[in-house]
Every structure is written in C-alpha cells, then in structure tokens.
Amino acid sequence: MPSVLDSRCILVIGATSGIGRSLAKSIYLLPTKSTVIVAGRRQDRLDELVTWSKQQGGDSTLETLQLDVSVDAQTLVDIIDKCLQKYPEVRGTIFMASFADV
C-alpha cells in the first residue's frame, strides 16, 4: 500500500488551520523532500505557511492554492483541474477541510 513517503507531490486541502495545517507542515519536514501544495480559504494563512517554509531552510517545496470548498461543484472541479494542470505530479491528496454553516 502506498504511503505519504511514496508521493513526491501532495495536495493538502484544508491546510490553513488545525490538523490540516499541522499535517501539511509535518509532510513538508519529511526527509523525502516532497512538494506540498497547501490549499485553503484564507490567503493570509497561506502566506504565513510560505513564510514558515522559507524559515525552515529545507529543500522541500511549499506551494499554495486559495480554495473554498463551499463553492458550487463545477467551480470546485474547475479549480482542481487547474491545480492538476499546474502540478501534474500530484500523487496524493489529503482532504482536511471542514464546513461550518454560519
């Protein structure tokens, strides 16, 4: 069974807070030097992750994708399609996003 260690490029959806953020950071710090694409609603939190990754001084790559999973289905499909066109090497996706009805 493949593991996160086998993936050279991983998309983490819902990575701007909580478990998703911690998981994205942990994957970034793995010795496998994977590209981690962090996706989430809040651009300011995505920017914080980029700053954090630069402070680590490692060889891994951290990319961001602003994404709100509460959009309509077609918009979500279009965003993910664009992501996969830009990063065709994605081999794993972790979906940590949550939805709160407010």
- Confidence (pTM): 0.85
Predicted pLDDT at 65: 93
For residue 100, what pLDDT is reported? 53
User: What is the largest distance, in Å, between two alpha-carbon atoms of the chain?
Assistant: 40
Q: Tell me: the pLDDT tens digits for 20-76? A: 999 999 999 988 888 999 999 999 999 999 999 999 987 779 999 998 888 899 998
What pLDDT is attached to residue 69?
Answer: 84
Instruction: Tell me the C-alpha distance between 62 and 9, whole Å.
Output: 10
Both tokens assigned to 94: 């972790």
Does the pLDDT value for residue 102 go beyond 50?
A: no
Burial tier of 13 (Cβ tally within 10 Å: 0-12, 13-18, 19+) = buried
> 76: which 2 tokens?
């979500």
